[in-house]
């Protein structure tokens, strides 16, 4: 567990340093948002596959029923609203200011 967290942290720091020092081309920086969204969609898709293959989860959803659906939709809507709000407040005003 600790090794995987350290690996993620090292990747994060390496990417930050490469970008900060200007070693990443400006065209790549402009595509980062699209790449992030692509991999986010892939992650959500794979999570859905894993949940769909797990019989215990499917049976638990049947048992819990309506509450689980409401909770899932509420979480989804809240997450989308938070990302949209953050994007609108912090990122939209920063367009064209990549240096």
pLDDT in tens, 5-24: 899 999 999 988 988 888 87
The reported pLDDT for the residue numbered 4 is 86
Does a structural domain hold residue 9?
no
pLDDT in tens, 35-73: 889 999 999 999 989 888 888 877 777 777 778 788 889
Count how many domains the chain has: 1
Structural domain harbouring 69: 26-94
Does a structural domain hold residue 1?
no
Does a structural domain hold residue 87?
yes
Contact in structure between 68 and 61 (CB atoms under 8 Å): yes
Does a structural domain hold residue 51?
yes
Does a structural domain hold residue 30?
yes
Does a structural domain hold residue 18?
no
Task: Give the list of residues 6+ apart from residue 52 with CB closer than 8 angstroms, or none.
Answer: 58
Does a structural domain hold residue 99?
no
Does a structural domain hold residue 16?
no
């Amino acid at each position: 567990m600790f090794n995987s967290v350290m690996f993620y942290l090292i990747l994060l720091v390496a990417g930050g340093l490469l970008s900060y020092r200007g070693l990443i081309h400006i065209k790549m920086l402009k595509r980062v948002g699209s790449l992030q969204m692509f991999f986010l969609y892939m992650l959500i898709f794979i999570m859905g596959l894993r949940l769909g293959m797990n019989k215990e989860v499917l049976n638990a959803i049947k048992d819990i029923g309506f509450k689980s659906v409401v909770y899932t939709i509420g979480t989804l809507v809240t997450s989308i609203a938070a990302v949209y709000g953050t994007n609108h407040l912090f990122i939209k005003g920063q367009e064209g200011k990549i240096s």
